[in-house]
Amino acid sequence: MMSNDALTIQNLTKKFGTFTAVDNISLTVKKGEVFGFLGANGAGKTTTIRMICALLEPTSGEIELDGLSVLRQPEEVKMRIGYMSQKFSLYQDLTPFENMEFFSEIYNVAPEKLAEEKENLAAELKLNNLDNILTKELPLGYKQRLALRTTLIHDPPILFLDEATSGVDPVGRRQFWDQIYELSAAGKTVFVTTHYMDEAEYCHRLSIMDKGKIVQTGTPAELKDKFDVSSMQDVFLQAIQY
């Protein structure tokens, strides 16, 4: 029987010398789910994501992503994920189309697929000169949408968005989340870290991390009911005992 789990983490720990950055955490993310991962700076979120993406070896524990062992099949795992961070990672001195071409070569994307994605990007941004304008000349919101398109160029089933909307204006963030919902409706799993508590409300489920441990997991409604509060901001503050 095929599992409905996109990601399973069991007893995951990461130590740096005597410091424990991630302390024996376990969680499961379902296929097609928009899953939020919240925590203050230093809580262990980025370390956890780096281990999930096969960029950092755990001290102990198991991670299974899309039916693959991250520890034993790291290269196969990397082909099944898309990763987008708060730090704009595309090449500023290339055109948007050149960025797409570069990443399509890395992932062996078919020319027909690349051409389709170029058309989609031009239609989405409503710009006709994407083969002439440099990426650094785009507004930040446009850059983030380009980054998302490029992250999806190889059609990965699981997408990691690490503070991806940081610095984007409210309208741009809302449009970005509309795209996330479309991806989820199409069956993709979206794993989101964010500092914006209004964005936490948009997640199907979420976990809150504090000092290397997962302290709460549930839907936004469940967590607000549990703490008898009306906002995810208050949930977060109570969960980490601010």
3-state secondary structure of 205: strand
Q: CA–CA separation, 37 vs 75, rounded Å?
A: 24
Digit-coded pLDDT (tens) for 59-101: 999 999 999 999 999 999 999 999 988 666 788 999 999 999 9
Residue 1's pLDDT band, with cuts at 50, 70 and 90, is very low
The count of other CB atoms within 10 Å of the CB of residue 182 is 10
Digit-coded pLDDT (tens) for 141-156: 788 888 888 999 999 9
Residue 242's pLDDT band, with cuts at 50, 70 and 90, is low
Q: CA–CA separation, 125 vs 189, rounded Å?
A: 24
The mean-pLDDT minimum among 101-115, 170-184, 228-242 falls in 170-184
Residue the block writes with tokens 């198991």: 62
Average pLDDT over residues 119-127: 84
Nearest to 26 by CA among 43, 5, 42, 12: 12
Distance of alpha carbon 42 from its chain centroid, rounded? 18
Tokens of 64: 């299974």
Residues 20 and 212: beta-carbon distance below 8 Å: yes
Residues 47 and 22: beta-carbon distance below 8 Å: yes
